A and B are shown apart, each in its own frame.
Chain A
Amino acid sequence: MFDTETLADSLFSQVRAALDEHTILIGIHEGGAVILDYLLKRLDIDVVAASVDVSFHRDDFEIRGLAKNKQSTSIDVDINDRHVILVDDVVHSGRTARAAVNELFDFGRPQSVRLAVLVDRGERELPIEPQFVGGLVEVPRDKRIEVRLDENGGLVINVD
């Protein structure tokens, strides 16, 4: 259904071009961490990586409660004055990215924060735009997009 290779290649080359020694790549659990792993494996330079969990900053806690069995935020580096690229699988309403920025600022004051996503499915509800996008994808509003790695380490996009 999707040309995942093309999306991933496009995202990779955009992110690669933006990297320098001050950059930190931070994956958003769960999907963003998968994309980040994929990017890191292909990178030819060493880059500092970390991950954030957005549960504590979600705006739908009252409706959904806390997520179960989630991974915690893991930021072992000083993010002050660094250039952060948040990595996620999909951007939709923009609410996850908002929560991720809040989580990030609990750890310091980065110099800049940009957003990299494999898939942009549009329909934003907040003034948030990704700077690096694998591609635009149209999916009916009630469908979920899930990105995972297959057994060979390739990216797979499921819609259900």
Chain B
Amino acid sequence: MNNGIQMNADGTLRHLLSLENLPREVITEILDQAESFLSVGTRKAKKVPVLRGRSVFNLFFENSTRTRTTFEIAAKRLSADVVNLDIATSSQSKGESLLDLIDNLVAMQADMFVVRHSESGAAHMIAERVPEGVHVINAGAGSHSHPTQGLLDAFTIRHFKKDFNDLKVVIIGDVLHSRVARSQIQVLQALGVREVRVAGPKTLVPQTMKSMGVTVYNDVDLALDGVDVITALRLQNERMEASLIPTAQDFYQNYGLTKERLALADRDAIVMHPGPINRGVEIASEVADGAQSVILHQVTFGIAVRMAVMSLLVG
């Protein structure tokens, strides 16, 4: 649905709004570019002039310090000027409409908007509004999508596992409300992963998810059998408030990624998590900090992936 506005006529990326229907070549190009940006972070001078003189506006209608920080670092390592707008406490409270805000920022010569919003259509709406030469990146929208997270998950998996075709991947937890899960499923399917499993209680992982082309498990031990990649999702407190699960302790007991459960997976399986982690809820501390955990690698890779996306949009 987004491809009309997301891509230029020549097949290059204009905005990154969703991974849905994003061609495999574009995904691979982003991952390849991210590989070369990874080295920038290891230099003494962690800066390259690719976006020099460009203005990147971080529009966060929803709090997410971590995602905002990684986008900010990515833009700064590309030498862009970054402006962070904490919308919740500024214009929206004065009654200014979203599109009026965008028009004003475009009048300030914005080159790129990084948008986090609880509504899935917000980034899309902004992309339709901005003039040519201005780019929009969806930095997480409602429970719908979080494309750069999906890309960094794919980058992490490719880094440790090389070939996608024969991988068995499982996503555990609140899959139903998770934009991370949705984006990861989309990107992995586009890259040719044949076996994506989702696991969790029926309230959070209903059988209807089969329509996404994944295998649904309500028994997490069965889901973990022989997998190569495990993603534990963050369990939001709202889910307990909405009585979708009894208690955090109960969730941990039945679905938490413990050392014993991890042993059911392939012995070289990697453990991922989008962060921030709830220790002792969706994942045990010893697993999160263990040898198979690549959670902090995901953070480092996330910056390189965001640098790649930003430079591909502009270049």
* Main SS class of interface, B: helix
Stretch at the interface among B40-48, B210-218, B266-274: B40-48
Contacts known (A61-B315, A66-B50, A66-B311); A108 close to B39, Cβ less than 8 A: no
Contacts known (A56-B49, A61-B50, A72-B35); A66 close to B43, Cβ less than 8 A: no
Does A124 lie at the interface of the complex (its beta carbon under 8 Å from any beta carbon of B)? no
A123 to B315, CA, bound (A): 27
Contact B48 A56 (CB under 8 A): yes
From A74, which residue of chain B is reached at the shortest CB distance? B39
Most buried by B among A55, A56, A70: A56
Contact A107 B50 (CB under 8 A): no
A56 proximity list for chain B (CB < 8 A): 40, 48-50
In chain B, residues 20-61, which have Cβ atoms closer than 8 Å to a Cβ of chain A? Answer: 29, 32-33, 35-36, 39-40, 43-45, 47-50
A107 proximity list for chain B (CB < 8 A): 43-45
Contact B32 A57 (CB under 8 A): no
From B39, which residue of chain A is reached at the shortest CB distance? A72
A90 to B195, CA, bound (A): 49
Does B312 lie at the interface of the complex (its beta carbon under 8 Å from any beta carbon of A)? yes
Contact A106 B48 (CB under 8 A): yes
A34 to B12, CA, bound (A): 31
From A57, which residue of chain B is reached at the shortest CB distance? B49
A55 proximity list for chain B (CB < 8 A): 36
From B45, which residue of chain A is reached at the shortest CB distance? A106
A66 to chain B, nearest CB (A): 5
Count of A-B residue pairs with CB < 8 Å: 42
Contact A106 B50 (CB under 8 A): no
From A105, which residue of chain B is reached at the shortest CB distance? B45
From A99, which residue of chain B is reached at the shortest CB distance? B49
Contact A53 B312 (CB under 8 A): no
Contact with A along B291-314 (1 / 0, CB 8 A): 000000000000000000001101
A56 to B308, CA, bound (A): 11
From B35, which residue of chain A is reached at the shortest CB distance? A72
Size range of the interface on B? 10 to 19
Contact with B along A57-83 (1 / 0, CB 8 A): 100011011101110110000000000
* Main SS class of interface, A: loop
A31 to chain B, nearest CB (A): 18
Contact B29 A68 (CB under 8 A): yes
Contact A57 B48 (CB under 8 A): yes
A141 to B48, CA, bound (A): 30
A33 to B245, CA, bound (A): 59
A53 proximity list for chain B (CB < 8 A): 36
A64 proximity list for chain B (CB < 8 A): 315
A56 to B311, CA, bound (A): 10
B47 proximity list for chain A (CB < 8 A): 106
A62 to chain B, nearest CB (A): 7
B49 proximity list for chain A (CB < 8 A): 56-57, 102
A73 proximity list for chain B (CB < 8 A): 39
A54 to chain B, nearest CB (A): 11
A55 to B50, CA, bound (A): 9
Contact B312 A66 (CB under 8 A): yes
Selected contact of A106 from candidates B44, B312, B314, B315, CB within 8 Å: B44
Contact A70 B48 (CB under 8 A): no
A68 to B39, CA, bound (A): 16
A98 to B12, CA, bound (A): 28
A66 to B30, CA, bound (A): 11
A152 to B32, CA, bound (A): 31
A70 to B40, CA, bound (A): 14
A87 to chain B, nearest CB (A): 20
A107 to B43, CA, bound (A): 6
Contact B36 A72 (CB under 8 A): yes
Contact B48 A69 (CB under 8 A): no
Contact with A along B3-29 (1 / 0, CB 8 A): 000000000100000000000000001
Contact A62 B315 (CB under 8 A): yes
A72 to B43, CA, bound (A): 13
B210 to chain A, nearest CB (A): 37
Selected contact of A70 from candidates B12, B36, B43, B312, CB within 8 Å: B36
Contact with A along B141-173 (1 / 0, CB 8 A): 000000000000000000000000000000000
11 contacts between A and B (CB under 8 A): A56-B48, A56-B50, A57-B48, A61-B50, A62-B314, A68-B29, A70-B36, A72-B36, A105-B45, A106-B45, A107-B44
